[in-house]
Amino acid sequence: MLVVTSNWAFTDGSLAPPQRRTAGNWLSEVRRAIIRGGRSRDGRYQPVSEATLVLAGDTCDWLTSRVWSGRDRPWHGGPRARQARLRVAAETFHAAGPATATILRWLRRGVPVPAADRRGLPSFGPEITVPLRVVLLAGDRDGWWAELPAATDRAGLHVGESWSDGRHDVRHGHDLDPTAHRPCGERPGRPRSPTLRESLAVDLIVPFALDVQADGAAWPRLRSWLPGLAAASLPAVPGIVQRLVETVAREQGTAAARAVADGWRRRVAAWHRIARREPPVAEAAFDPVDAVAAWLAAGGSGGRPSEVCERLSPFPPESHPGGAVMLGHPAADRPPALDCRLPDGRGWREPLDPEPLPSPVVTVGRIIRSEGIIDAA
């Protein structure tokens, strides 16, 4: 049985919430999906023989962290930057706590599921375990899995950029997003230019969050919204900031709202200066920095997305003859779900409990039947 999901966005908890409770709920849904996979076409129950859980990128959000408030950047080379990347990852695993422990326990012992009774129904007696393999694919916000020895050496845990079982080709899909595209085969730890998405996350969103946190009044509201702001597509960002300002105005008053709006504009201007000195990479035939800064500074008052947003929109995925392409990146307007596939060709979408908007997690969803593509975001 195959279960694919993405964009869980575990953080180290230094800025955005670490998703402890939500992750536990999602793992319960993964177990429930594996149990459901034991139901055959005739309605009889027989536990599946094994399961593969593919976390198709952005399982962690390693960009939204206080670690990047100093000189270190995720895209820098050298031992200092590497230690910063490893520290963010280690603190994320610690913050995830129970969810990390559950996944590791399933890897060692299997997923506990009911046995089948004589009538082909789930038994209420002792449980059995289904062997589980876990595949961790790098996304645009957790791109340094290959640098983590604990991840690459653990039995049953596979780390990479893509995965296939011959019928399903799974990857995060940020290679189709001009704002997040990185060259294939890039060696971990080598210095490089940031992607536009990385630059905005580390040099705009993180400093903005730190400013609001220092001010204090609007921080609880921004903290709860930060996962959605960090994961939002470029066209959506000004609108989210504008709604944040309006919410703070209702809850804290006009002075606090004005401070948030002014702080956002200052940070956009600061990001613009940084991006001119260290130009981010965007897979586009033009330099988008000036236009992106103007769009972000508009604060949602610009109405429909600007031309630069449209020119930086993701490319359509390719088709896969005789199989399915499953992508994890990104679609923040769709509800979270698991995409479940059985060896006999059956499949279904398993909803996950929705989070308060804006949601940081969007996973597997619709099938584009004309192209044989499953949109896993």
Whether 187 is in a domain gets the answer: no
Question: Residue 373's pLDDT band (boundaries 50, 70, 90)?
Answer: very low
Q: What average pLDDT does this structure show over 283-299?
A: 88
Whether 184 is in a domain gets the answer: no
Q: Number of structural domains, the chain?
A: 2
Whether 361 is in a domain gets the answer: yes
Question: Residue 230's pLDDT band (boundaries 50, 70, 90)?
Answer: very high
Whether residues 282 and 357 fall in one domain:
no
Last residue of a domain, one of 296, 311, 326: 311
Whether 186 is in a domain gets the answer: no
Share of the chain above pLDDT 90, in %: 61
In the block, tokens 């023989």 appear at 49
Whether residues 333 and 270 fall in one domain:
no
Whether residues 234 and 362 fall in one domain:
no
Amino acid letter, residue 100: T
User: Which of 282, 341, 353 lies closest to 19 in space, CA to CA?
Assistant: 353
Whether 273 is in a domain gets the answer: yes
pLDDT for 148 equals 87
Whether residues 25 and 130 fall in one domain:
yes
Q: What average pLDDT does this structure show over 202-227?
A: 94
In the block, tokens 């997040």 appear at 180
Whether residues 230 and 273 fall in one domain:
yes
Last residue of a domain, one of 274, 292, 311: 311
Contact 149, 183 (CB under 8 A): no
Whether residues 213 and 260 fall in one domain:
yes
Whether 298 is in a domain gets the answer: yes
- Asked if pLDDT for residue 376 goes beyond 80, the answer is no
Whether residues 20 and 155 fall in one domain:
yes
Whether residues 82 and 220 fall in one domain:
no
Whether 185 is in a domain gets the answer: no
- Asked if pLDDT for residue 280 goes beyond 60, the answer is yes
Whether residues 261 and 321 fall in one domain:
no
Return the structure tokens found at 138. Answer: 């790098």
- How far is 71 from 236, CA to CA, in rounded Å? 28
Contact 265, 297 (CB under 8 A): yes
The residue segments making up the domain with residue 130 are 2-177+315-374
The structure's pTM equals: 0.87
Last residue of a domain, one of 264, 294, 311: 311
Whether residues 205 and 291 fall in one domain:
yes
Instruction: Please tell me the least confidently modeled range out of 95-109, 274-288, 300-314, 357-371.
Output: 357-371
Q: To the nearest 5 percent, what fractions of the chain are helix, strand and coil? A: 40, 15, 40
Whether residues 172 and 217 fall in one domain:
no
Whether residues 321 and 290 fall in one domain:
no
Whether 18 is in a domain gets the answer: yes
pLDDT for 298 equals 81
- Asked if pLDDT for residue 151 goes beyond 60, the answer is yes
pLDDT for 114 equals 96
